[in-house]
Amino acid sequence: MSLCKTSSPFLASLVLCVLVAGVFHAQVAQAGPPIQEMKASTVWVECIDGAGTGFVTGDGWYVITNWHVVMGAGGGGNADVLLSPSDRYLSRIVWHSQEPDLAILKLERRIPRPSVTFATDEFVEDADMVYAMGFPGAAEDIVNVESDFEVKITEGIISAKVTANEGTDMYQTTAALNPGNSGGPLYNEYGQVIGINVAKSLVIVVTFEEDMHGNMIEV
């Protein structure tokens, strides 16, 4: 199994700015980021010919990842969310977009992991501390080694907010990113997701919210 080809061999230290309506939580002073909870919300995502990272949302019923990670399954196809080599959760792709490189997976059964919270772009500043989480081994055809299912963490800062020619809002970060991090979360120092690690340099800002039934929808 190999990760779907991308336009860059590495993630170029760029993350997609994801603004999520209605789920912003005020930043509260604390001793440090809730690392264990952040790791618990970060999951391995796999389909027939790709693997990468995602994160839990929608009260444990949804996972967000990059479209290129699961595109081998096709729109409406199935992908697995793994907590370990033997602990798999089947999901269905309920929304995807090539530009931006995003997909929403609906799990067949609720995953016992905490849902992430989000911070909007207005609360992100240059030099803010950030933490990228994911599974570098997902890009190396390694799926049966327990240690490779341990979430890897790299830290850095927001070095710039950049805008692509098409008006795409992105962050540039000094946190080291690897291909297996694709689809994984970029957290701020409060444990809130501020972006999604991407393999393409040109993506657009997307807003998600929960409808009255708890389903993740694009707005």
Instruction: Give catalytic residues, as residue numbers.
Output: 68, 101, 182
Terminus-to-terminus CA distance in the chain, angstroms? Answer: 34
Best CA proximity match to 66, nearest among 102, 93, 41: 102
β-bridge pairing 42-47 and 78-84: antiparallel
Query: 133, 176, 121: which is closest to 38 by C-alpha?
Result: 133
Query: Taking every pair of C-alpha atoms in the chain, what is the biggest distance, in angstroms?
Result: 44
Place of tokens 């799990």: 107
Q: Note the residue count of the chain.
A: 219
- H/E stretch holding 67 reads helix 67-70
Amino acid found at 102: L
**CB burial readout 193-216, b (16+ within 10 A) else e:** bbbbbbbbeebbebebebeeeeeb
C-alpha dihedral (203, 204, 210, 214), degrees to nearest 10: -30
